[in-house]
Amino acid sequence: MSSQPSSQPGPKPNSFAARDAAYHLHGYTNALKTEKEGGFVVVRGDGPFVYDENDKEYLDGLSGLWCAALGFGKEQRIIDAAVRQMENLPYYHTFSQKAPAVTVELAERLVELASLAAPMSKAYFCNSGSEANDTAIKMIWYFNNALGRPEKKKIIARVKGYHGVTVGSGSLTGLPLVHKDFDLPIKNVFHTDCPHYYRFGKAGESEEDFATRMAESLEALIQREGPDTIAAMFAEPVMGAGGVLTPPKTYWEKIQKVLKKHDILLVADEVICGFMRTGNQWGSQTFGMKPDIMTMAKQLSAAQMPIAAVLISQRVYEGLRDHSGKLGSWAHGITYSGHPVAAAVALETQKIYAERKILDHVRAISPVFLAELKSFADHPLVGEVRGVGLIGALELVKDKKTHESFDASLGVGPNLIRIAHDHGVILRPVADSICFCPPLICTEGQIREMFKRFRAALAETQEWLK
């Protein structure tokens, strides 16, 4: 094997990259690396493309952070909606029975949309997916106190699940680095098995049998902890940041049966899957999930303004309502909850999705996307190909037959991503899984272009590994 592909050279003095390294602390970043190499600073966008300060073009195959559904170009209608709102009412809040009109409109729209998956009663707004999941945890605890069952508080999430980084949502996230030295998870959060059949299925075990084993393992965890102490399970329909892990056949049917038996609420984290990513409005629809609570963010506003929401069923709402009456207040609220400018942008985004028939487009383009992904199935470095709608991943392995992974210290996935970056395509590694989640508006040509650039990077990686 030749030496590792070299990292970026240091930034030019006074460039944005150098100033970024000097003044800006990034999320999910090795800060030492930023100091040495400078940041990657983006100055403009156009469709699925972004441009750096030297005007080099990159196709962002991850929609930024799984969110820029309409890409990175100018959307005049969204600009106009934001400006109109700023002219009319740039801010109002949602405490004490008050609300901006546009926030009410958005709540109505989301409750209506959610009914495609499961009947929901009310929307509560937040500013990020993390905050939405934190809020959902608090709602669940409050709900069970309202019902007079204070012991029913434990929450189950999954190994490799991703739900955010705040104290509550970061505890739900099942990735070791999100916990390590942050003193997480908090008590009462448990992680059940990761349903990744390719990695964790046993020899000779069918996908359906694997799903049964996952449900049995969940049941065993519930029995160990005591069914009367478990309040809810949080889960993404497709596990995104864990490496785009699509559920095995029959998984959701079996998991929901267990939850129902023990009166455990299901929270569908639709932060990535929501708004058409999996080929339906909701990931819950794609996989037959009937949640009691849905959290959403990202594509809610096509990422053009920070906004997130928690939608709750009538049953959960009634618990909150009656308890708030008893205590005098549902004493949870955020200054920018349902911010009118963000709500106006989200509402306009939803209108654009409907008028431009984005769902039809996703369904039309998904077969091209999935066929391109599958075209890598025979590649010697590719162990598993997985995907649905417009989200997918390729898992790179050392040995196709045994599924043996590369030594993590080689950094095969991250190095491939760096090479791909040089080839003008931005993707995301989760260990050695390469994730794809292009803007929903990509044309067939742009999807093919993304894979063409990636293919060149994969060929270079293969050379490096020789």
Chosen residue from 128, 135, 313, 350 binding ligand PLP by CB under 6 A? 128
Does the protein bind ligand PLP through residue 465 (CB under 6 A)?
no
| Closest to ligand PLP by CB, 297 or 458 | 297
> Nearest-CA neighbor of 274 among 358, 367, 336?
358
Does the protein bind ligand PLP through residue 297 (CB under 6 A)?
yes
- Tell the smallest beta-carbon distance from residue 310 to ligand PLP (Å): 12
Angle at CA of residue 211, ends 276 and 260, nearest 5°: 75
Total residues in contact with ligand PLP, by rule CB under 6 A:
16
Strands 122-126 and 308-312: antiparallel
Q: How far is the CA of 26 from the CAs of 20, 324, 391, in angstroms?
A: 9, 39, 25
Dihedral pair phi/psi, residue 177, rounded to 5°: -65, -25
Does the protein bind ligand PLP through residue 280 (CB under 6 A)?
no
Q: Which stretch binds ligand PLP (CB under 6 A): 269-277, 341-349, 377-385, 405-413?
A: 269-277
Amino acid at 39: G
- Tell the smallest beta-carbon distance from residue 133 to ligand PLP (Å): 6
Does the protein bind ligand PLP through residue 292 (CB under 6 A)?
no
Site residues (CB under 6 A) for ligand PLP, limited to 156-175: 162-164
Chosen residue from 64, 168, 240, 243 binding ligand PLP by CB under 6 A? 240
Does the protein bind ligand PLP through residue 283 (CB under 6 A)?
no
Does the protein bind ligand PLP through residue 366 (CB under 6 A)?
no
| Closest to ligand PLP by CB, 243 or 413 | 243
Chosen residue from 60, 134, 236, 292 binding ligand PLP by CB under 6 A? 236
Contact letters for ligand PLP, residues 55-74 (x by CB under 6 A):
----------xx--------
Q: Which stretch binds ligand PLP (CB under 6 A): 194-202, 211-219, 264-272, 451-459?
A: 264-272
| Closest to ligand PLP by CB, 118 or 308 | 308
Does the protein bind ligand PLP through residue 233 (CB under 6 A)?
no
- Tell the smallest beta-carbon distance from residue 346 to ligand PLP (Å): 14
Which residue ranges make up the site for ligand PLP (CB under 6 A)?
65-66, 128-130, 133, 162-164, 236, 240-241, 269, 271-272, 297
